[in-house]
Structures are given as structure tokens and as C-alpha cells.
Amino acid sequence: MGRGGQTLNQDDSERRCIATGEVQPKGGLIRFVVGPNGTIVPDLLGKLPGRGIWVAANRAALDTAIRKKLFARSAKQPVTVPDDLFDQVEAGLAKRVVDGISLARKAGIAVAGYEKVKGWLTNGDAIVLIQASDGSERGKTKLRLPSDTSVFIGCLTASELGLAFGREHVIHGALAAGGLTRRVVEDATRLSGVRKADAGKASGKGVKTT
């Protein structure tokens, strides 16, 4: 299981998506609220005041919610949906993932660089493998997930990973077990759902378990 012996269990509280009608854990949804001026605001921290409006963390669900005016129906009042709502959500989630990895690095549960990541994978310290979406596919295939309970994150670009590790760019990263890791995995899963398939020349890989 790696350092700390902790798992990736997430908050299992459930909410209903206004677009799909499905009930699922909050970790797979994005909370929105109606701001003071009647504008729909993404609440990625889940702490803004007001009644939460929940949408599954994928572009199709969010598009349905916007196109069918489901935000107004759920809020039971006229609302304004910003033209850049997709961009707000994607940018906010990307920042949360980058910031989370940065905090994990400072806490000693994240490393970057091929050799360090390989060492963690070999020793069983890593439970999450992170690789840049725009990195060389040939180079990325040289590293393998450590077990069937491990997680792969591939929705960040090399420059975004670089920000997380204080470098210009990073292709390979890894996380050990811990509370910060659970947060990163949850946010990366949501980012993968809303990020465009070709963002950063992505390979189509987002977050997956093996």
C-alpha cells in the first residue's frame, strides 16, 4: 500500500446529477451555486453558501445542463450561465490538481523524474503514477503501475506538472498514500471528465485504476 498504509477512499456522500438524473458519490460531481447576481458559479471546494446544484463531472452532462436550461429549473429561478463556464470549471480543477500535487511534494509524498518515479514504483512506495498527456508515448510505456489497486493520472500537460514540481516541465510523477493523494485523485478524475479530449495533445488517458 506504500507510505502511511492508507487507501484512496473518498467521500461517499451522494447527490443527484441534474443532467443525467443519476445519484452518485459527490467525488464524481461538480457543485454549482447561484451567485448574488443570479450567475451560476462553480463551487469546486463545496463550501459556497446556497443550495447546491450538482452536475456529473463530464462534458456531456455539463453541456446538457446548459443546453436544456437545467440550472434555472433546479434553482427554481432565472439564472445566468456564463459563456465560459466550461473554461472556469476546467481551469479551476486543473489548478486544484496542480496545487494538490505541489502540497504533496512538500509533504514528501510526491516525486518527479523518471528514475525517482521508477524507484518508488519498484519499492512499492507509489500508489499513483502521473504522466504528462503530451509526453512521449514511448517513454511513458517504460513505467508500469505497481498493483491492481493503483491509479494512473494522465490529464495534465508537462507544463502543468512542471508547475506542481517547481520545474519548467515534468513528464513522470508519482504519489504515495495519504490524504493529499486522495484529494489529487478525486480532482484529477473530475478534470479528466471535463477536459477536452485533445487538450495538451492528450492521449485520451485521464484517470484510471488497474
What would the pLDDT profile of 130-139 be if each residue is shown by its tens digit? Answer: 999 999 888 8
CATH 3.30.1330.30 segments of the chain: 88-209
Domain 88-209 in CATH: superfamily? Ribosomal protein L30/S12 (3.30.1330.30)
Q: How much is the pLDDT for 188?
A: 96
Q: How much is the pLDDT for 139?
A: 81
Query: Considering the entire predicted model, what is its pTM?
Result: 0.86
Q: How much is the pLDDT for 210?
A: 42
Task: Provide the pLDDT confidence category of residue 140 given band limits of 50, 70 and 90.
Answer: confident
What's the sign of the alpha-carbon dihedral 191, 197, 202, 208? positive
Over residues 176-199, mean pLDDT = 88
C-alpha span between 131 and 117 (Å, rounded): 10
Residue whose C-alpha is closest to residue 195's, from 98, 89, 110: 89
Q: How many Cβ atoms from other residues are within 10 Å of residue 16's Cβ?
A: 14
Q: Which residues contact 83 (CB under 8 A, 6 or more apart)?
A: none
Which CATH number among 3.30.200.20, 3.20.20.70, 3.60.15.10, 3.30.1230.10 corresponds to the domain 14-84?
3.30.1230.10
In angstroms and rounded to an integer, the radius of gyration of the C-alpha atoms of the chain is 18
Residue 146 has pLDDT above 90, yes or no: no
Q: What is the pLDDT of residues 71-109, one digit of tens each?
A: 999 999 999 999 999 999 999 999 999 999 999 999 999
Name the DSSP class of 40: E
Arithmetic mean of pLDDT over the chain: 88
CATH 3.30.1230.10 segments of the chain: 14-84
Task: Provide the pLDDT confidence category of residue 209 given band limits of 50, 70 and 90.
Answer: very low
Residue with cell 503501475: 145
